[in-house]
Structure 1
Amino acid sequence: MSFYEEKFPVPVRFTCQPVSETMFTQGEIEELFSLINQPVDPSSPGSGSQGSNRAVYSTRERKIRRMQSNRESARRSRWRKKRHVENLNNDVNRLRIENRELKNRLGLTMQYNLILSAENERLRSESVTLLATLLDLYRTLETIILQ
C-alpha cells in the first residue's frame, strides 16, 4: 500500500462550484478537476512501491541530470561570455574609429581657427590703419574749414 493510500483510503473527490471571477470556462474547470480526481496507480514510478533501490537510482539519476544541467549551464555561460567579449571588442573598434574621426575633425577645426585668427588679426590691423587715415582726413578737413 502506498503512502497516499494509507493516508487517504477513500479516494478524494473534488467538486466544482461555479465561480464567475475566474477566467476559466466550466469545461476547463471540469477538465482540471478530472485530472486531480484520477485514481492513484500503485505501480506508477512515484508511488514508492520499488523501495530503496528506486531511491538510490533516483539519487544517482538526479546527480547525473544535475551534472548534465551544470555542464549545459556552463556551456551557455561560456557562450554568453564569448558574445560579451566579442561585443566589447566591437565596441572598442567602433570607438577607436570614432576617436580617430573626432581627432581629425579637431585638427581641421584647429587649422581653420588658426586661419581665422590670422585673418582677424589682419582685419584689426587694417581697421587701425583705416581709423588713423580717417582721423587724418578729419583733421585736414577741419583745417580747411577753419581757414
Structure 2
Amino acid sequence: MMISQELAQYQLPDLEDPFTTSEIHELFSFFQPEQQSIKSTSSLESIPLVYSIEEKKRKRMKSNRESAKRSRWRKKRHLENLTTEADHLKLENRKLKNQLCMMTNEYHLVQRDTNWLTVECIELQQRLAGLYQILLTMQLC
C-alpha cells in the first residue's frame, strides 16, 4: 500500500502529443515475444528470433545465389559478345589484308608498266634525236 500511495503523489507530466492507444500497443508489441503454438520454457523462447535470423540468412543466401547466377549469365553473354566481335574483327582484318595484297600487286604492276614506259620513252627520245641528226645532215648536204 505504501508504494501505491507514493505513486499517487507523483503526477505524470502533460505531453503535448500523447500516444494513441494503437501506438502504445504497437510499441509494446516490440517487447513481447511472439505467440507460439507450442508452450516452451524460457530457454526456448529465443527460438523465434533465431528462426527469423536463420530465415533471413536463407533469404540472403537465396538472393546471393540468384545474384551470382545473374552475374554469371551477364558474364557469359559479355564473353559471347566479345567472341562474336573478335570473330567479326578477324574476318574484317582478313578482308583488309586481302585488299592490301591486291592493291600492292596492282601497285607493282603499275610500277612495272611505268618503268617500261619510262625506258621506252628514253629509247624513243634517243631514236628521235638520231633522226634529227640524219635530217640535219641531209639538209646540210
TM-score range, shorter chain: 0.5 to 0.7
Q: Could you tell me which residue of structure 1 aligns to residue 114 of structure 2?
A: 127
Number of residue pairs the alignment of both structures matches: 114
Residue matched to 1:84: 71
Q: Which residue of 2 aligns with 1:45?
A: 29
Q: Determine the C-alpha separation between the residues in 2 that align with 1:85 and 1:47.
A: 43
Q: Which has the higher helix share?
A: 2
Could you tell me which of 5, 10, 13 is aligned with 2:12? 10
Say which of 34, 38, 52 aligns to 1:65.
52
1:9 CA displacement: 5.8
C-alpha change, 1:125 and 1:91, in structure 2 (3 Å) is same
Pair 9,95 (structure 1): closer, same or farther in 2 beyond 3 Å: farther
CA–CA distance in structure 2, aligned partners of residues 100 and 120 of structure 1: 30
Considering only CA atoms, is the larger Rg found in Structure 1 or Structure 2? 2
Which runs of at least 4 in structure 1 moved beyond 4 Å after TM superposition? 53-56
User: Letter of the aligned partner of 1:119 in structure 2?
Assistant: E
Supply the distance in 2 between the matched residues of 1:47 and 1:85 (Cα, whole angstroms). Answer: 43
User: Which deviations, in whole Å up to 9, do the C-alpha atoms of 1:36-66 show, x marking residues without a partner?
Assistant: x21656xx43467xxxx88973x43222111
Give the RMSD, CA atoms, in angstroms: 3.1
Alpha-carbon deviation of 1:127?
0.5
Relative CO higher for 1 or 2, CA cutoff 8 Å, sep ≥ 6? 1
2:35 paired residue number: none
TM-score with structure 1 setting the length: 0.63
Structure 2 residue runs of 5 or longer lacking an equivalent are 1-6, 33-40, 137-141
1:136 matched to 2:117? The reply is no
Structure 1 residues without counterparts, runs of 5 or longer: 15-33
TM-score if structure 2 supplies the norm length? 0.66
> C-alpha displacement at 1:89, in angstroms?
0.9
Q: 1:138 to 1:9 in 2, by over 3 A?
A: farther
Shift of 1:134: 1.3
Identity over aligned pairs, percent: 12
| Offset at residue 137 of structure 1 (A) | 2.2
Distance 1:140 1:76, change over 3 A: same
